[in-house]
Amino acid sequence: MEKIFNGESISILLFLIGVYGLLARRNIIKTVIALAIMQSAIILFFLTINYEDGRIPPIGDVTIHTAVDPVPQALMITAIVIGVAVTAVSLTMFISLYHHYGTTNWLKVINKRRED
């Protein structure tokens, strides 16, 4: 059972939940949330790459054999920063869009846009 519920399968599941949110929800806020879920899935996936029990964090004076691989963690710090920035930008754009169209629904925005 532990073999099935490892980081990889959970992250794929989370990723698919995110994709479902993007596919099926017409609310723009929920689109942004679904994107954030996908990003969390990716972060979980990276952190569990080549995971083995008994490894220690690569901080301080450790020999190579016992420490975990630090590269994915370094990459993910960058990815988290990018994710926060990108979420902020998309929410800012959403506020601007909301002021123009007064709706949170993708379809209603398209319809109002056609009328212009």
DSSP string, 29-90: HHHHHHHHHHHHHHHHHHHTTT--TT-B-S-SS--TTTBPPHHHHHHHHHHHHHHHHHHHHH
Quick one: 56 or 110, whose CB is closer to another protein? 110
The residues facing 105 across adjacent strands are 27
Give me the least distance between CB of 52 and another protein, in Å please.
13
According to the binding rule CB under 8 A, does residue 68 interact with another protein? no
Is residue 58 at the binding interface for another protein, with CB under 8 A as the rule?
Answer: no
The tokens describing 112, both together, are 């109002």
- Interface with another protein (CB under 8 A): 15, 18-19, 22-26, 28, 31-32, 35, 38-39, 41-42, 45-46, 49-50, 71-72, 75, 78-79, 82, 85-86, 89-90, 93-94, 96-97, 100-101, 106-107, 109-110, 113, 116
